[in-house]
Chains A and B, each alone.
Chain A
Amino acid sequence: MATVFPFSAIVGQEEMKRALLIAAIDPGVGGVLAFGDRGAGKSTAVRALAALLPPIAVVAGCPYGCDPAAAACAGPGCGKWGGPSAAAPTPVVDLPLGATEDRVVGALDLERALTHGEKAFEPGLLARAHRGFLYIDEVNLLEDHLVDLLLDVAASGENVVEREGLSVRHPARFVLVGSGNPEEGELRPQLLDRFGLSVEVSTPRDLADRILVVRRRDAFDRDRAAFVAEWAAEEETLREKILAARARLPEVAAPDAALEKAAKLCIALNADGLRGELTLLRAARALAAFLGDGGVADAHLRAVAPAALRHRLRRDPLDEAGSGARVARALDTVLAA
């Protein structure tokens, strides 16, 4: 893999980094959507995350990246089950714009069909992304039917293929990460709340930050290996924090008071459905685990509420203030009480 810019060297963008880390700790939060300025480092952060994440154990050679600790191979039988296991990097799969449906869900293996006349399933990107991340840059430019399909698979955790006489299902549990620039067109409102967390990204406005951005990027471009080596210790610390947080996550308590506040917050904001509340709690819990706290407190709710709720408000499409501000107002009222 090409050398990528280290995650810990990214300047600012705290909300986006936090959201990605939360998704890395608890994939159940349900995807991250990052919308904002060009050049703010959205893709850089996602690719950096790929390098940061700890390796996972897989059945060697399994195209679905099966977990050797699982009960059985969940895929349509790759013939590797029971074989030796190996460590593999957490997959962060890029879904390039222009990808066709057959490559995304998987399709008839052309080569085997043409040369041997066999009907075999060739897994697609969804299989590769299993147990990892699926990243779509410019998600707002992706064909609507593909976005629908991805969100459906991401929510169900299973990819069902019914095409060309094939009938295949295999697990595809991944965190969907989408990014885009709102000036290119907005995401369909119906799709927004299917993402767990939504962050707004803007370029740094502070001069010192900008200088730092340019200096680090320049240093990286001039000598990638040296720059990565320089940040290796920080990356390792962060990696260990993620692992520790994952281990601690089941023990993090969510006291009734926190549940109540989350509910109040959603009511105050008139957020649709229960998904907002659940995501808010999950994210707050993951954050508490990351920070080494034993239970969910106000500070955690406050830190994750904008990302968990801003895209769920029944919004006036023309509301200029932005839903982030509305969440902040509601936070002040509810948490002050």
Chain B
Amino acid sequence: MNAAAPVVSGGASPGAAAAGAAAGAAGEAAGEAAGGAWDDAALAADLLALDPCGLGGARLRGRPGPARDAWLARLAAGLPPGAPLRRIPAHIGEERLLGGLDLAATLGAGRPVTQKGLLAECDGGAAVLAMAERAGATVAAHLGMALDAGAVTLARDGVEGAAPARLAVVALDEGAEDGEGAPPALVERLAFDLDLDRLRPVASPPRDVAAARGRLPGVAMPAPLMEALCAATVALGVASPRAALFALRAARALAALDGRSEAGEADAALAARLTLGPRATQLPAPPQEEAAEDETPPDETPDDETPDDAPEPQAPPEPEPDDAQEDAAPDLDALTEMMIAAARAALPAGLLEGLGAGPQARGGGAGTAGALRKAATRGRPIGARAGRPEGGARLDLVETLRAAAPWQPLRRRAAPGRAGVLVRREDFRIRRFKRPAETVTIFAVDASGSAAAQRLAEAKGAVELLLAESYVRRDRVALVTFRGATAELALPATRALARAKRALAGLPGGGGTPLAAGIDAALAEAEAALRHGWTPTLVLLTDARANVARDGAGGRPRAMAEAMAAAARVRALRVGALIIDASPRANPDAAALAQAMGARYLALPRADAAMLSGAVRAAQDGA
């Protein structure tokens, strides 16, 4: 997808040469690369239009622009005539998404009248989810269920039933920052993952999708090709069987587009590039002998940097991925190599750094988000009470009708001429919402030499205690560590506590204390949390002996001054904060830092578990 990517695997293996040729659409020359990437994207649009239900959909990363518009236009052109293509806002209510009671019709008819939801209205076409990065887990789950089942089941507001919803979902993902993006549960069910941000649409002749659609059911898939695709998923560390199925269907669709009745190697290679490339979580080592002959080693993906301990989030038994990789290596026949080579071509540059930080950190495009937005979550409905639908309160229609129902015969007798349901003011019920008080506790842990020497273990212990506390309260936690010259986000905000623990256990110690960088990183995470509408709390665990400035230069006074300035920014953001002084004896600098930050201060020597958790809670309340 990235500019120079197709050259990467240029001659890694004989199969790859074939793959390169097969992937001719991608454009061999670097100059055409941008156009080539657009061709890939356009091809994905055609494939999706050809088999919307089988391929599930696509995630389009990037901000609104001509590329996105052109892509959507291409998809619309390819879909069968009359097929719906509807836009779904990220904050759509469940009653519109799934369907429910039709207010006007119900009142008019005097009996419940149901209304189709958007998902059912999209049957046979595609739904475009706008601002997918803002979509909640619930919306993602509904879309996921519709994609899995090809239908929506409904059981709400006095309505029950199922409606067909065979559709593709196009998730427009404008998530700009790491850790922000469309819900993984949704992305997993979409065949394509395209980065349109840097693409310039090129007019290309339309393909005959309609004719291909007629051919698709008859396209055969040779078994060796299917096996090679499966092997490629293993080698690329793609865990979900869905990915292999998507590759399979894409290969079939490619053959159908090309007017053939059997998928060939070229189809499979291209399908692997389109569907497996963006999902890769590890890079298989290319065969050594070929690599030696090859004069143009893959510069973006040096093999020795392939992380041996490539994170396998879903794989608790750690040694297994390595075994799998070793086992798989000798079995890779030429075909599989070809698939992998093709998929590798789609790996964006800098993927390795992304892999190092875990899957959460992937997926962010370039660019910056707009200004900080105040999250406008309305909360979850928790019931209804009598009241007037005014001042922003929303009428709960069903409960209102229920309240009115028993009185209908009486009221009708009193007002014989009136038709429909007789609703009076005292019947009005309004919805009550629970504000989601979701919190994120951001731990910034000083792992520098000065702190580590005596106290890192204790500090880890303290953080673990706090993590356990957060777990019980079902908070999210994020972990920032700083040592040497820089700070890093060891763990983006998550509820998966086992991951937090792992990140902490692997925390190396030593080096200088880049306190300002540490606070900056924590602050960035706090801002990200605010964008999500969560309430961040910052817990800074340090001995406050800052000696590395932001630019990596040594020197205590400047480092400390910068740290103080960073602390003032935390205060300005009005984020609840707690500083745990990890020095052997209480350090006045830490207390001063706490004051600058508007944070509570706690010296570790005196802290026990109860005190720590009490202090964190106090910091959260005092935010």
- Interface set of A (CB-CB < 8 Å, partner B): 2, 36-41, 43, 94-104, 107-108, 110-111, 113-115, 117, 119, 122, 124-125, 137-138, 141, 143, 145, 164-165, 181-186, 188-189, 202-205, 207, 210-211, 213-215, 217-218, 221-222, 316-318, 320-322
Contact = CB atoms under 8 A, between A and B. Distances in A.
Contacts of B111: 110-111, 114-115
A104 B158 CA distance: 10
A310 B568 CA distance: 47
| B interface, over-half SS | helix
A95 B160 CA distance: 11
B239 interface: yes
B248 A214 contact: yes
Interface in B297-313: 313
A97 B141 contact: yes
Interface stretch (B35-43, B405-413, B510-518, B523-531): B405-413
Contacts of B241: 39-41, 203-204, 210, 213-214, 217
B110 A114 contact: yes
A203 B158 contact: no
Interface in B196-232: 217, 221, 223, 226-227, 229-231
A117 B401 contact: no
B186 to A, nearest CB: 10
Nearest to B184: A183
The 9 closest A-B CB pairs, nearest first, are: A113-B405, A39-B240, A117-B409, A103-B155, A318-B501, A317-B471, A39-B242, A99-B155, A98-B94
Given A114-B408, A145-B382, A210-B234, A100 B315 contact: no
A127 B497 CA distance: 37
B402 A189 contact: no
A5 B280 CA distance: 28
B421 interface: yes
Contacts of A99: 155-156
Contact of B142 (A39, A98, A143, A322): A98
Given A107-B402, A185-B495, A318-B498, A141 B137 contact: yes
Contacts of A38: 184-185, 188, 240, 242
Contact of B160 (A103, A221, A222, A317): A103
B350 to A, nearest CB: 24
Given A211-B226, A214-B226, A217-B241, 17 more contacts: A37-B240, A98-B142, A100-B156, A102-B158, A103-B160, A107-B158, A107-B402, A138-B137, A138-B141, A207-B231, A207-B327, A210-B244, A214-B230, A214-B245, A215-B223, A317-B472, A318-B467
A104 B155 contact: yes
7 contacts: A107-B402, A113-B406, A137-B145, A182-B496, A186-B497, A221-B54, A318-B498
B288 interface: no
Interface of B: 54, 94, 98, 110-112, 137-138, 141-142, 145, 148-160, 184-185, 188, 217, 221, 223, 226-227, 229-231, 233-234, 239-245, 248, 313-316, 320, 324, 327-328, 331, 380, 382-383, 398, 401-402, 405-406, 408-409, 421, 464, 467-468, 471-472, 474, 495-498, 500-502, 505
A42 B223 CA distance: 26
B139 to A, nearest CB: 9
A104 B155 CA distance: 8
Nearest to A321: B316
Nearest to B421: A114
A131 B521 CA distance: 55
A217 B245 contact: yes
A143 B155 contact: no
A126 B138 CA distance: 22
B398 A110 contact: yes
A181 B495 CA distance: 12
Given A113-B402, A184-B137, A97 B142 contact: yes
Given A186-B497, A202-B314, A218-B248, A318 B405 contact: no
A164 B137 CA distance: 32
A138 B143 CA distance: 13
A215 B398 CA distance: 47
B112 A188 contact: no
B306 to A, nearest CB: 19
A214 B231 CA distance: 11
Nearest to B235: A207
Contacts of A317: 467-468, 471-472, 497
B312 to A, nearest CB: 10
B314 A37 contact: yes
Contacts, number: 187
B402 A218 contact: no
A165 B227 CA distance: 62
B251 to A, nearest CB: 11
A125 B161 CA distance: 11
A301 to B, nearest CB: 23
A117 B98 CA distance: 28
Nearest to A190: B472
A113 B408 contact: yes
A325 to B, nearest CB: 9
Contact of A202 (B185, B242, B248, B315): B315
Given A318-B498, A320-B498, A218 B467 contact: no
Most B CB atoms within 10 A — which of A114, A138, A143? A114
B310 to A, nearest CB: 14
A218 B230 contact: no
A110 B142 contact: no
Interface centre among B137, B320, B324, B409 (most CB of A within 10 A): B137
Nearest to B238: A203
Contacts of A141: 137-138, 141
Contact of B153 (A96, A102, A122, A183): A96
B248 A117 contact: no
Given A37-B239, A210-B241, A215-B226, A117 B405 contact: yes
* Residue from A38, A124, A215 whose CB has the most chain B CB atoms within 10 Å: A38
B276 to A, nearest CB: 13
A205 B500 CA distance: 25
Nearest to B316: A322
Given A103-B155, A203-B241, A320-B498, A210 B230 contact: yes
B230 A318 contact: no
A181 B140 CA distance: 13
Contacts of A114: 110-112, 401, 405, 408, 421
A41 B148 CA distance: 11
A189 B401 CA distance: 38
B233 A316 contact: no
A1 B51 CA distance: 24
A183 B495 CA distance: 7
Contacts of B54: 221
A183 B398 CA distance: 34
A265 B144 CA distance: 40
B137 A318 contact: no
B110 A115 contact: yes
A322 B324 CA distance: 21
B230 A205 contact: no
A318 B464 contact: yes
Contacts of B242: 38-39
A79 to B, nearest CB: 21
B232 to A, nearest CB: 10
A210 B233 contact: yes
B226 A188 contact: no
